[in-house]
Amino acid sequence: MDIRVARTERAIEKACMELRAKNPLEKSKIKDLCALACINKSTFYAHYEDIYALSSGLETKVIGNILACVTDFGPNRPLDHTEELTQGLFRAFVQNQRAVNILFSGSRQGVFANSIEQGLRKRVAELDPTFTADPRRGIVLSFCVQGCFYAFTNNSGRMDEAKLVAAGRKALVGIVLTQQPPVFRAGSHHPVGVGTSLGHQVVDQGPDIAARPVQDDLLPA
């Protein structure tokens, strides 16, 4: 890439981040972005179709950076143990905290978490082709990604980076799968539980969620 083109695109991306830090995507204006980047509109449109295309490209970069950070799926078969995955996810979220908070705020939060989950599903399937036919490990992955991101977004404003990383390493959630084969029916019961550090097991009981003490042998080592 021509160095002048690269420099212009970096300036545009930086201006977009500054603008998005103040306004949601729907209220971000091209003219304001151009003023921040010290360019005219014709220069902007020479590089991007519109502000949505620019923001989408930035989101893709952030998601790619996070996926690249998550490389450990356990010592044996992927997702048989969740400690390595949850640690990797939390560390990646913290390392990309500013970009995530800016680009994936409000209605974009769901887009982010789902994109991370889809990317990791593809990665795990490449490592272990049996993963796609194993709905129980698919549920484990969903719990890990969505749960880690929920914990991150609800606590990132309360702690500095060092404390967030420390908390993420300690507050590991063990996913507990029952031994019975999973049966999936519309609006029905799924034999899935989550063992928490408080010693309870949350079990999916159809429309209701209940908590009961978890047996020691169900908690991950």
Average pLDDT over residues 141-158: 83
pLDDT number for residue 168:
57
Most confident of 43-57, 139-153, 174-188: 43-57
> pLDDT of 4-63, one tens digit each?
889 999 999 999 999 999 988 889 999 999 999 999 999 999 999 999 999 999 999 999
Average pLDDT over residues 190-206: 41
- Which contiguous run of DSSP H or E holds residue 164? helix 161-170
| Distance (Å, whole) CA 97 – CA 211 | 32
State the sign of the Cα–Cα–Cα–Cα dihedral 60, 66, 69, 74.
negative
Percentage of the chain with pLDDT > 70?
Answer: 69
Read off the DSSP letter of residue 106: G
> pLDDT of 110-142, one tens digit each?
789 999 999 999 999 999 999 999 999 999 999
| Distance (Å, whole) CA 109 – CA 160 | 21
Residue 165, pLDDT > 70, answer no
pTM: 0.70
| Distance (Å, whole) CA 151 – CA 67 | 18
pLDDT number for residue 83:
80
Average pLDDT across the chain, whole number: 77
pLDDT number for residue 171:
52
pLDDT number for residue 108:
79
pLDDT number for residue 10:
95
Average pLDDT over residues 193-216: 39
